Amino acid sequence: MFDLSGKTALVTGATGGIGGAIAASLKGQGANVIVTGSTMERATKAAEAIGATPLAANLADRAAVDALAKDAEAAGPVDILVNCAGVTRDGLMMRMKDEDFDQVLEINLTAAFRLSKAVMRGMMKRRWGRIVNVGSVVGFSGNAGQANYAAAKAGLVGLTKSIAREVASRGITANVVAPGYIATSMTDVLSEDQRAGILTAIPEGSIGTPEDIANAVVYLSSLEARYVTGQTLHVNGGMAMGF
């Protein structure tokens, strides 16, 4: 089950905790994996850890994103695209700078759109493909101080559903995995009081791991998930159930 031998996966943001776990899990299921980072040094370090192919790109630069897609197709072609790269530029909306809003949408949403568009043509010709976008619970609930991040993650959901409707007949699925609170560098900055407050809102009683997200991505990337498309798989320990 979940054998991905012969498939090539492109994972953006693979130098981070969640992206790295996703890349490792896809590799563990037999996929050829291409990992990206903001610099070749970071991408190479992540790639060497799992035996993947490194590529570097500044996802805030549209020309760089387009070049990344071409390089990945040449190294692939890409059968599985996982858009995991993301940034935060938190601040109350009343004080948020335009550039902080724009950059978060550019990296978290626009880059996912451009990469999906670029690899889709090859997937359609081969009549097989998987696009998995890593969203967030805040894309559904909203979060004070994260208007930009929540907007980008909510946008991913609409983008994904639209992709799913357009290409389902070509054997391509598009889905979202929406993490809750996961133990990464983003959550390491939480104080003990903040962590305790979060845990009271999670019925499962713990903060999730990057591997929890990776397991969901592997499933949605697999042959077995052929009939699942346009969906959001919430992985949050029960913290939010009403979506």
Which active-site residues does the annotation give? 149
Contact call for residues 25 and 33 (beta carbons, < 8 A): no
Distance CA 127, CA 129 (A): 7
- Tell me which residue of 92, 52, 93 sits closest to 72, measured CA to CA: 52
- Residue 19 near residue 11 (C-beta atoms within 8 A): yes
Cα 169 from Cα 91, distance rounded (Å): 42
CA angle 166, 229, 106 (to 5 degrees): 70
Are the beta carbons of 174 and 131 closer than 8 angstroms? yes
Do residues 237 and 205 lie in contact, with contact meaning Cβ atoms separated by under 8 Å?
Answer: yes
Give the residue among 128, 107, 133 at the shortest CA–CA distance from 217. 133
Q: Look at residues 55, 47, 41, 45 and name the one whose alpha carbon lies nearest to residue 27.
A: 47
Give just the sign of the alpha carbon dihedral 58, 19, 206, 142: positive
